[in-house]
Amino acid sequence: MPELPEVETTRRGLSPHLLQRRIERIQVLQPKLRWRVPDTIQNIQGATIHSVERRAKYLLMGTDQGHMIWHLGMSGSMRIMPVAASGAKHEHILVELDDGNSIRYRDPRRFGALLYTESEPLQHPLLSDLGPEPLSAGFNVDYLHQQCRKRSIAIKNLIMDSHVVVGVGNIYACESLFASGINPKTRASRISRQRLQRLVDAIKNVLQQAIEHGGTTLQDFTQADGKPGYFRHELNVYGRQGPCLVCGHDLKRITLGQRSTFYCGHCQR
């Protein structure tokens, strides 16, 4: 579920509640996530949180006793709640802080993760081979053009490949391609540099707008304070059927890379 804007929204919501807080206790109620939560996570008990960062869709919490690496998978969310608050269904991990608050990690489908490392988290095998951040200067038309050379895959699949660029999931891939007028099935190598420039701009724009709206809530996602994200109302093609909002032709729904893909056959060529 959560794509980059939802993870960034979560990071921004959590950060002021966590910085300089001491971790009193970690309760792992359900260790079976994407990977089993390591027992070494308990090493972090008593540590003080000094950073809350994001890389791709991973949330990184740094302490003086190692780093927590979180992933929200398809259905994960994290909230700040009083330690005394009763638990909700599918709340798998509770991190109790020294101010009476706690982080509540909830993830019905359990595709998410909590890992622990005492090394530099960016060196972790899961993070070390990732492509550039989409909102960074390193993600530009020169880079994308280079990545598209000799690639026969559909452009949508390419921009969803985290080795090419991180953070672009199914919703924002569809929306970015609509905004740049590119058919999602187009083979990457056959798109002109000029159109790739439009795509780069669209990806940055869509992600930035989504962050400003607090992300997209379809079912599970909540911000750290429990509110949903409001970008859903801004979606032009994802999850829609019927007439295109721009030209009025019927929107199409196909499957690409085993993911539902929404687009307008008239606006996107």
Residues that bind DNA (CB under 7 A): 1-3, 6, 32, 34, 56-57, 71, 73-75, 89-90, 108-111, 126, 150-154, 157, 160, 162, 169-171, 188, 215-221, 229, 257-260
> Based on CB atoms, which residue is closest to DNA, 2 or 121?
2
Residues labelled as active-site residues: 2-3, 57, 259
Question: How far is Cα 78 from Cα 105, in angstroms, rounded to an integer?
Answer: 5
> Based on CB atoms, which residue is closest to DNA, 63 or 172?
172
Question: How far is Cα 6 from Cα 68, in angstroms, rounded to an integer?
Answer: 18
Cβ at position 150, least distance to DNA in Å: 7
> Based on CB atoms, which residue is closest to DNA, 29 or 247?
29
Q: Which residues pair with 113 in a beta bridge?
A: 71
CA distances from 30 to 94, 164, 200, 211 (A): 10, 33, 40, 30
Question: How far is Cα 265 from Cα 112, in angstroms, rounded to an integer?
Answer: 35
Q: What is the dihedral of CA 142, 145, 146, 152, to 10 degrees?
A: 170
Cβ at position 187, least distance to DNA in Å: 8
Cβ atoms of residues 69 and 113 within 8 Å: yes
- Look up residue 76 and give its two tokens: 């994960």
Cβ at position 167, least distance to DNA in Å: 7
Cβ at position 91, least distance to DNA in Å: 12
